[in-house]
A and B are shown apart, each in its own frame.
Chain A
Amino acid sequence: MGSVAHAHPPAHGHAHAEHHHHEESFVSKYIFSQDHKMISKQYLVTAIIMAWVAVVMSIMFRLQLAWPGEGFAFTNFFLGDKWAPGGVLSPDMYLALVTIHGTIMVFFVLTGGLSGTFANLLIPFQVWCTRYGERFLEHVVVLVLLREQCAHDRLAIC
């Protein structure tokens, strides 16, 4: 049931407020966090890391396109002698780089990173305005019991 059932109704807000101020362990605060703000940060930082992977890839294939067949220590540093002998990108790796660059940018940065960060940050803040966990069961519960839940919480139009 989790946070939805326990989300404090506005009228009783103060009674429950204390309950939320207990100290959290590192794991529950930063890793398996149920807090939408932390989930949003996790998405954002992951996306930034993935974006860097994709940017470095793009620089490698851009170097090849601008100066075809020339060797670059930059390319060799990341790909090693197997895929970039003498720093010259191999045709197979060229195709791999454009493929993974596209995949990472489209799915991991601009879908996961963008929606994941801002939907988690903004939807609870701008709409629900209360604690927002995300557990699988919770989805089911919300879908099945929404009317009672909303009546209970005196939240808006359901």
Chain B
Amino acid sequence: MMTLLILAVIVLGILAVTRLSRVYELTSALRGKREEDITERDSRMNARLMWAFPFAYFAFFLWLTVAYADQMLPVSASEHGVWLDDLLNFNWAILIVAFFVTNVLLFYFAGKYYYRKDRRAYFYPHNSKWELGWTIVPAIVMIGIIIYGLSVWNRITSVPLAGTPQVELYAQQFNWTARYPGKDGKLGATDFRLISGTNALGVVTPNSIKTRLAELEEIVVVEKKKLETEGGFLPPSKLTALEDHIKHVERMRGRIVNLRTLMDQDIAARGAESPYNHGSDDIVIKEFHLPVRENVDLVIRSQDVIHSVFLPHLRAQMNAVPGMATRIHMKPTITTDSMRTITANPVFDYILMCNKICGASHYNMQMPLTVEPDGAYKVWLSQQKGFETAEIPAAEVVPATDTAAVISNTTANIPAVTNEPKKN
């Protein structure tokens, strides 16, 4: 219906425009008016519109600012966010002044000096003093903005204090996983080759290497058997694919064996300090909790493509890049409960969302964050099971809130569920 209406409007519009312009052409030909003669009347009409426009423009600006003020992000829930909000307000104060001054001048002049036959423009090619003035004034303002901006930036990106607890956020198409250090307070080493249904993050421990090697061994055995029994019947392309896959898995197995050697040497050299010894008690979970008023160092990694950790209420953002770990540290200052009071919204939740295009379900790659008092946080953490003591595989833990639609397991990354457009 809507479309029909639009189509009708388009067709009628085109017809009207062509007819009107034809009439206009005929009448102006009769009057001997030429297109390049911009008459005083035309100029005056446009000049009046030039004067009217800024009123509409500024009114629109004010209306948006006032009407949507309560829809903007609420007060910052992190320590550095407050610095950012102050910096932002400082910038806005300068920019809004510049915005009004330049626009008023522009539209005022555009409307005032429209063409009249008896006037002659003022020949004024340059004035070095003025030009120097509007080079130096913006330069000084910019220096102020740069100094203030960089001082905040340096504070935010400073090296975290020694002993700041680490929490890992792990991104994959199209969900998030968190990893908390266990009782030893340290995150264990990881390797992407160990990722499997039972080890969603590829945590490296002697045990997980053993399990993964066995799994790969089994795959090779099964596929070799398939090659023997069905090899003759497969079309050439599938045959090559199967052979390539077997080679690929064997290559992986070889590399994991190398990794095991490396691990054994490291454990022998460093004993309990070795990162390979920290993994088994790590908590791998699809829930995200942080303690309030405590510094936390987020370690951010990705399994497949670039994602981005975006916590708008905490004014925090950092890309998750496969092949490297990025880090941000911060201090949440308002608990989820307090924020529910502040926003007068009893179901308010902090949201972690993905902010770097990552595929079809990018728009729904989210995980709620609970900020809670330190005591409650510790209790929650103590109830979670360690990675190698968990009874159910971490990848299948269903989070408490209803984000089940985004959960896809690691071996089937194409989410059949979310490909269906949501009907509202």
Q: Do A and B bind each other?
A: yes
A contacts, CB < 8 Å to B: 68-70, 72-74, 87-92, 95
Q: A88-B421, A89-B421, A91-B421 are in contact. Are A72 and B3 (CB under 8 A)?
A: yes
Q: Is B360 an interface residue (CB 8 A)?
A: yes
Beta-carbon contacts under 8 Å, B404-424 to A:
418-419, 421-424
Q: How far is the CB of A83 from chain B (nearest CB, A)?
A: 11
Q: How far is the CB of A112 from chain B (nearest CB, A)?
A: 25
Count residues on chain B whose CB falls below 8 Å from chain A CBs: 17
- Whether the Cβ atoms of A90 and B421 lie closer than 8 Å is yes
Q: A73-B4, A74-B6 are in contact. Are A92 and B360 (CB under 8 A)?
A: yes
Residues of B within 8 A of A73 (CB): 3-4
Residues of A within 8 A of B362 (CB): 95
Q: How far is the CB of B420 from chain A (nearest CB, A)?
A: 9
Q: Which of A70, A74, A91 is the one whose CB lies under 8 Å from B360? A: A91
- Whether the Cβ atoms of A69 and B422 lie closer than 8 Å is yes
Closest to B6 in A: A74
10 nearest A-B pairs in the assembled complex, by CB-CB distance: A73-B3, A91-B360, A69-B424, A88-B421, A74-B3, A92-B360, A69-B423, A69-B422, A72-B3, A69-B421
- Whether the Cβ atoms of A68 and B422 lie closer than 8 Å is yes
Q: Is B196 an interface residue (CB 8 A)?
A: no
- Whether the Cβ atoms of B357 and A95 lie closer than 8 Å is yes
Bound-complex Cα distance A125 to B117 (A): 30
Contact indicator per residue, chain B 1-42, by CB within 8 Å of chain A (1) or not (0):
011101100000000000000000000000000000000000
Residues of A within 8 A of B363 (CB): 91
Contact indicator per residue, chain B 340-361, by CB within 8 Å of chain A (1) or not (0):
0000000000000000010111
Q: How far is the CB of B209 from chain A (nearest CB, A)?
A: 37
Q: How far is the CB of B393 from chain A (nearest CB, A)?
A: 28
B contacts, CB < 8 Å to A: 2-4, 6-7, 357, 359-363, 418-419, 421-424
Residues of A within 8 A of B6 (CB): 74
Instruction: Work out how many contacts link A and B, with CB atoms closer than 8 A.
Output: 32
Q: Which of B2, B360, B418, B421 is the one whose CB lies under 8 Å from A95? A: B360
Q: How far is the CB of A75 from chain B (nearest CB, A)?
A: 9
Bound-complex Cα distance A115 to B357 (A): 30
Q: How far is the CB of B415 from chain A (nearest CB, A)?
A: 10
Residues of B within 8 A of A70 (CB): 424
Residues of A within 8 A of B7 (CB): 74
Q: How far is the CB of A89 from chain B (nearest CB, A)?
A: 7
Known: A91-B361, A91-B363; 5 extra A-B contacts, CB below 8 A, are A74-B7, A89-B421, A91-B418, A92-B419, A95-B362
Residues of B within 8 A of A74 (CB): 3, 6-7
Residues of A within 8 A of B419 (CB): 90-92
Residues of B within 8 A of A92 (CB): 360, 419
Bound-complex Cα distance A88 to B423 (A): 9
Bound-complex Cα distance A43 to B7 (A): 30
Closest to B2 in A: A72
Bound-complex Cα distance A87 to B423 (A): 12
Bound-complex Cα distance A46 to B168 (A): 50
Most buried by A among B3, B4, B360, B424: B3
Q: How far is the CB of A4 from chain B (nearest CB, A)?
A: 35
Q: How far is the CB of B5 from chain A (nearest CB, A)?
A: 11
Q: How far is the CB of B187 from chain A (nearest CB, A)?
A: 33
Bound-complex Cα distance A95 to B419 (A): 13
Closest to A86 in B: B421
Bound-complex Cα distance A136 to B262 (A): 58
Q: How far is the CB of B406 from chain A (nearest CB, A)?
A: 13
Closest to B422 in A: A69
Q: How far is the CB of A57 from chain B (nearest CB, A)?
A: 16
Bound-complex Cα distance A88 to B357 (A): 21
Q: How far is the CB of B138 from chain A (nearest CB, A)?
A: 26
Q: How far is the CB of A62 from chain B (nearest CB, A)?
A: 12
> 6 A-B Cβ contacts within 8 A?
A68-B424, A70-B424, A73-B3, A73-B4, A88-B421, A90-B421
Bound-complex Cα distance A61 to B2 (A): 16
Closest to A73 in B: B3
Bound-complex Cα distance A90 to B360 (A): 9
Q: How far is the CB of B69 from chain A (nearest CB, A)?
A: 22
Bound-complex Cα distance A89 to B421 (A): 8
Residues of A within 8 A of B4 (CB): 73
Bound-complex Cα distance A70 to B421 (A): 9
Bound-complex Cα distance A66 to B424 (A): 12
Bound-complex Cα distance A21 to B401 (A): 79
Q: How far is the CB of B309 from chain A (nearest CB, A)?
A: 20
Residues of B within 8 A of A69 (CB): 421-424
Bound-complex Cα distance A134 to B424 (A): 56
Q: How far is the CB of B213 from chain A (nearest CB, A)?
A: 37
Closest to A99 in B: B357
Most buried by B among A73, A87, A91: A91
